[in-house]
């Protein structure tokens, strides 16, 4: 074996280990575009509407697409005791709520049921696509 390479091996191994550790840390943090300020409740006149229907134990669509930067009126209709929360934002609604939010960051946001509603609760997930 090449002697100089052999001597450098521990250094290479250490560098590889460091890269692995940094990669692991990086993947656990949320994307920078999703923060509590990515969606704000607003009193502006809504220019788009979204109705989300929740039943035991799903939402009526696997994904919903809305436009960035335009006031969005969200209505949550629920058959059963469900609420919604949009992960990594301040969006939180109960059954029957109607609120207007503006999303400032494009991306995909997970919609989750916010009320422990029963055996299918963990499966109550959809995606809000902000484009």
Q: Which residues bind Cu ion (CB under 5 A)?
A: 113, 115, 117, 121, 124
Instruction: Give me the least distance between CB of 82 and Cu ion, in Å please.
Output: 5
Our CB check for Cu ion shows the closer of 40 and 117 to be 117
Angle among Cα 121, 127, 131 to the nearest 5 degrees reads 165
Our CB check for Cu ion shows the closer of 56 and 102 to be 56
Our CB check for Cu ion shows the closer of 64 and 103 to be 64
Residue 122 carries which DSSP code?
G
> In DSSP terms, which residues pair with 130 in a beta bridge?
66, 107
User: Per 3-state DSSP, what percentage of the chain is helix, strand, and coil (rounded to 5)?
Assistant: 25, 40, 35
Instruction: Give me the least distance between CB of 51 and Cu ion, in Å please.
Output: 18
Instruction: Give me the least distance between CB of 100 and Cu ion, in Å please.
Output: 24
- CB of 99 closer than 8 Å to CB of 36: no
Instruction: Give me the least distance between CB of 110 and Cu ion, in Å please.
Output: 14
What is the largest distance, in Å, between two alpha-carbon atoms of the chain? 73
Our CB check for Cu ion shows the closer of 33 and 110 to be 110
């Amino acid at each position: 074996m090449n002697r100089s390479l052999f001597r450098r091996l521990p250094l290479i191994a250490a560098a590889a280990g460091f890269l692995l550790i940094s990669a692991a840390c990086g993947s656990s943090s949320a994307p920078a575009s999703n923060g509590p300020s990515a969606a704000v409740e607003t009193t502006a006149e809504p220019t788009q509407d979204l109705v989300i229907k929740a039943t035991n134990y799903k939402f009526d669509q696997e994904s919903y697409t809305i436009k960035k930067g335009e006031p969005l009126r969200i209505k949550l209709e629920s058959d059963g005791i469900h609420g919604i929360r949009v992960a990594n934002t301040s969006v939180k609604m109960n059954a029957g709520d109607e609120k207007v939010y503006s999303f400032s960051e494009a991306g995909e946001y997970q919609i989750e049921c916010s009320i422990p509603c029963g055996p299918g609760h963990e499966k109550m997930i959809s995606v809000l696509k902000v484009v």
